[in-house]
């Protein structure tokens, strides 16, 4: 039996290359994967003053069901909650900064974060104090539910942001043509 277990372990090590341990292997720190490329994935130049660009971003979020928690002339924040599965909840939050020195153009910097929560059930217990015996804790049979954050990440650039910027530009056009 020992020979079979040892043979299986040696086979596993041989299949994985054997150069790094399987357990306790440290991943590269996250900051080493940050590239700081100059490719404007999270920003767009708009043909509008910063205040108009931020207002269009605010209206774009509102049109998609986001709750705007902060709206200023150069800053917009909003969030929307989802429940994709029975005990899983997701929140997407936007942070938008509208920068620009001139009266004609603005740069919209957008970052969205996705937080994932799961429902955690905590059993409830009752404690009874008896002078001769001390205290006795007995389960009552009910549970208390709470949401626990299990993941949080900045949404990577791509079609998600492209769709948002397209909607902002469409909102800007609509605002300009409205009577």
Residue 41 confidence (pLDDT): 83
Instruction: For residue range 142-169, list pLDDT tens digits in order.
Output: 667 888 999 999 998 789 999 999 999 9
What is the rounded CA–CA span in Å between residue 155 and residue 163? 13
Residue 138 confidence (pLDDT): 59
Domains and CATH numbers, the chain: 40-81+91-114+153-179 (3.30.310.10)
Backbone φ and ψ for 146, nearest 5 degrees, come out as -150, 150
Residue 160 confidence (pLDDT): 95
What is the rounded CA–CA span in Å between residue 29 and residue 134? 51
Residue 84 confidence (pLDDT): 92
Residue 13 confidence (pLDDT): 45
- The tokens for 143 are 């549970």
pTM of the model: 0.71
């Amino acid at each position: 039996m020992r020979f079979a277990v040892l043979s299986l372990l040696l086979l596993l090590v041989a299949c994985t290359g054997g150069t790094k341990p399987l357990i306790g292997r440290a991943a590269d720190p996250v900051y080493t994967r940050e590239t700081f490329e100059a490719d404007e994935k999270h920003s767009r130049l708009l043909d509008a003053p910063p205040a108009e660009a931020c207002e269009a971003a605010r209206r774009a979020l509102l049109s998609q069901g986001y709750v705007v928690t902060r709206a200023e002339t150069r800053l917009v924040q909003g969030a929307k909650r989802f429940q994709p599965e029975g005990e899983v909840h997701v929140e997407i939050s936007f942070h938008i900064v509208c920068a620009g020195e001139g009266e004609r153009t603005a740069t919209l910097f957008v970052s969205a974060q996705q937080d994932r929560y799961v429902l955690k059930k905590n059993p409830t217990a009752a404690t009874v104090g008896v002078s001769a015996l001390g205290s006795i804790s007995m389960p009552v049979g009910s549970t208390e539910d709470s949401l626990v954050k299990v993941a949080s990440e900045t949404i990577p650039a791509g079609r998600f942001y492209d769709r948002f910027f397209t909607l902002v530009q469409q909102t800007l056009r609509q605002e300009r043509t409205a009577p």
